[in-house]
Amino acid sequence: MTVPEHEAVGIRASGAECAIARRVAAAAEGRGRQPYQSDGFACEPAEAAGGDTDYTCSRDGARISFRYGTG
């Protein structure tokens, strides 16, 4: 399910390449604030202001975080 005008913003990565971080963040599309896995990263959601979702994704000491919402 695509949600119009929603996107991943504020992507931060530690121990992961930027291309992988963008791919993991893009995989949040259509998840409806549910946990998911992408590229070996386990991603956990948390409610954020304005109905957005903050995600924290981890794999073997690497971490990716971002906000998914209306940007």
Residue 28: exposure state from Cβ atoms within 10 A (0-12, 13-18, ≥19): buried
Residue ranges of the alpha helices (H) in the chain? 18-26
32: in domain? yes
Predicted pLDDT of residue 60: 96
| pLDDT tens by residue, 9-63 | 999 999 999 999 999 999 999 888 899 999 999 999 999 988 899 999 999 999 9
1: in domain? no
| CB 11 within 8 Å of CB 66 | yes
pTM check: above 0.85? yes
55: in domain? yes
Q: How many domains does the chain have?
A: 1
Predicted pLDDT of residue 67: 95
Range of the structural domain that residue 18 is part of: 7-69
Predicted pLDDT of residue 1: 45
| CB 41 within 8 Å of CB 62 | yes
2: in domain? no
